[in-house]
């Protein structure tokens, strides 16, 4: 779920409003995970971030933001990314009770599946980290400690403002656990029971 707070000016007063974007199907979001050991493929059965000292998974998420197309960067006071953490230690190799998970902007078009239209590269480990990368990601925009099961929020206000004022294009976000012993399961963005 992307929560974007903004100010809506009326004739004689300013009123705060909250806008919620909650994908309900594959058409409204893209998500996948990539894995270092299967570098040419991606996986969309669930999301996961695992640090390199365990096995190294990363995840990608992108929401359709056309519902807030009319907002300007100056209108946005806060924006949060809310994802449902399904558990820690999903590989059984970590005893960590709190794991930092970072969010960075993806810096180019990507496809979730090979069946998706267009010529953008398929999101794979090789596309990001291979000998000739075709997709990249930027600096960390937000960090949140995942500590158990439930919803966790990342403050992505500055990132959303950069999307709205044209400094960056919205290609979604790249999630990772920088480690050590980071192992976090995250619900798919199109899972209704744990909708983002």
Beta-carbon contacts of 130 under 8 Å, excluding residues fewer than 6 positions away, are 39, 124
Write out the DSSP string of 86-136. Answer: EEE-TTS----S-EEEEEEEB-S--BSSTTSSSSSPB--HHHHHSSS-S--
pLDDT digits (tens, 9 = 90+) for 125-144: 999 999 999 999 999 999 99
Neighbour count for residue 40 (Cβ, 10 Å):
11
* Structural contact between residues 21 and 68, judged by C-beta atoms closer than 8 angstroms: yes
pLDDT for 10 equals 40
pLDDT for 9 equals 41
- Which residues of the chain fall short of a pLDDT of 70? 1-16, 24-26
Q: What percent of the chain has pLDDT over 70?
A: 90
Separation CA 6–CA 26 (nearest Å): 27
Total-model pTM: 0.89
pLDDT for 107 equals 98
Separation CA 101–CA 48 (nearest Å): 10
pLDDT for 195 equals 82
pLDDT for 11 equals 43
pLDDT digits (tens, 9 = 90+) for 15-50: 567 878 877 666 778 999 999 999 999 998 789 999
Among 101, 144, 157, 104, residue whose Cα is nearest residue 128: 104
């Amino acid at each position: 779920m992307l929560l974007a707070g903004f100010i809506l000016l009326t004739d004689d007063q300013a009123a705060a409003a909250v806008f919620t974007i909650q994908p309900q199907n594959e058409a409204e979001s893209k998500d996948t995970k990539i894995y270092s050991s299967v570098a040419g493929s991606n996986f969309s059965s669930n999301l996961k971030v695992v640090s390199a000292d365990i096995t190294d998974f990363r995840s990608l998420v992108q929401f359709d933001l056309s519902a807030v197309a009319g907002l300007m960067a100056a209108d946005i006071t806060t924006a949060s990314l809310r994802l449902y953490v399904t558990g820690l230690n999903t590989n059984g190799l970590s005893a960590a009770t709190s794991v930092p998970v970072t969010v960075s902007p993806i810096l180019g078009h990507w496809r979730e599946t090979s069946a998706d239209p267009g010529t953008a590269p398929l999101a794979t480990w090789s596309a990001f980290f291979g000998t000739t990368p075709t997709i990249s990601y930027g600096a960390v925009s937000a960090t949140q400690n995942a500590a158990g099961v439930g919803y966790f929020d990342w403050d992505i206000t500055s990132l959303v403002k950069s999307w709205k004022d044209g400094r960056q294009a919205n290609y979604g976000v790249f999630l990772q656990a920088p480690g050590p012993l980071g192992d976090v399961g995250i619900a798919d963005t199109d899972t209704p029971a744990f909708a983002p």
